[in-house]
Structure 1
């Protein structure tokens, strides 16, 4: 198994996102997927939203889940384009991912508003609408996840986008994003 990210700056950016995920949940897993000429990284958070980022490179196998702490160690210790991301723990990934669809930016949330939402957030009301942008309801849990990851930095605004099929919403923060399914998941009883 290998993760190849040729540029040191891209490896450092991946390591930064993984470190933020590990800080929130030391037992987190990360899913790595080939995406065109790059690799996409996905991780769950304690806020029931996903974190994603991407970098030029490749992963073999093309879709694998590893422990976030193992990947962080590999990216932090090995200063080389190719690293071993750790053993596969594919059975630990729960949930789906957005399809290969385009994203449409529908608005922005000022960074000060993220701080205000977090300050007034009620743990029992994380699904309450915290912000609305372009007709898209942004639940408080998304703003809390942005802050939990230590974003936005430098007062940058957070862009709100929806997937081409309308099923997913994302808060874009430069090279990373918080992603949430817009429709509730259905439970299948057998």
Structure 2
């Protein structure tokens, strides 16, 4: 098993996202998926939203789940274009992922408004609508996840963009994003 990301800056950016995931949940898992000449990284958060980022590179196998702490150690300790991301724990991944295409930007929220939205969340709860654009309601948990990850960096000059693909919503905060189903998944009882 291997993860190859040629550019040191891209490896550092991946390590930064994984470190933030581990800070929120030390037992988190990360799913790595090949997408052409890019590696997409996905991780669940305690806020019931996904975090994602991508970098030019490749991963073998093309779809594998590893412990976030193992991947962080590999990216932080080994200064090489290719690392061993850790042992596969594919059985620990729960849920599906959105398609990689079809996202339409439908709104933005200024970075300096994120803290105000998070402050209102305490009284309203994580499932309350924190923001709405073009008929898409963004639950507070999505904005709290953006803040919990420490994004966006760069202050008020960096807006957080809201995108929609019909089934999922995405809050883009620079090189990474928070993603959530627009509607809760149905549970099938048998």
- TM band (smaller chain): over 0.9
Q: Cα RMSD between the aligned structures?
A: 1.0
Structure 2 segments unaligned to the other structure (5+ residues): none
Q: Give the Cα–Cα distance (whole angstroms) in 1 for the partners of residues 100 and 143 of structure 2.
A: 24
Matched with 2:113 is 113
Structure 1 segments unaligned to the other structure (5+ residues): none
Aligned length: 188
**Equivalent residue for 1:159, pick from 133, 139, 161:** 161
Matched with 1:45 is 45
Q: Give the Cα–Cα distance (whole angstroms) in 2 for the partners of residues 176 and 100 of structure 1.
A: 14
**TM-score of the superposition, structure 1-length normalised?**
0.96
User: Which SS does the other structure have where 1:99 is aligned?
Assistant: coil
**TM-score of the superposition, structure 2-length normalised?**
0.96
Q: Give the Cα–Cα distance (whole angstroms) in 2 for the partners of residues 152 and 54 of structure 1.
A: 16
Q: Give the Cα–Cα distance (whole angstroms) in 2 for the partners of residues 9 and 20 of structure 1.
A: 17
Matched with 1:83 is 83
Q: Give the Cα–Cα distance (whole angstroms) in 2 for the partners of residues 143 and 100 of structure 1.
A: 21
Matched with 1:185 is 185
| CA deviation profile, 1:59-92 (whole Å, cap 9, x unmatched) | 0000000000000000000000000000000000
Q: Give the Cα–Cα distance (whole angstroms) in 1 for the partners of residues 134 and 188 of structure 2.
A: 32
Q: Give the Cα–Cα distance (whole angstroms) in 1 for the partners of residues 185 and 62 of structure 2.
A: 26
Q: 1:100 to 1:157 in 2, by over 3 A?
A: closer
The 5 A counterparts of 1:77-156 are 77-122=77-122, 125-155=125-155, 156=158
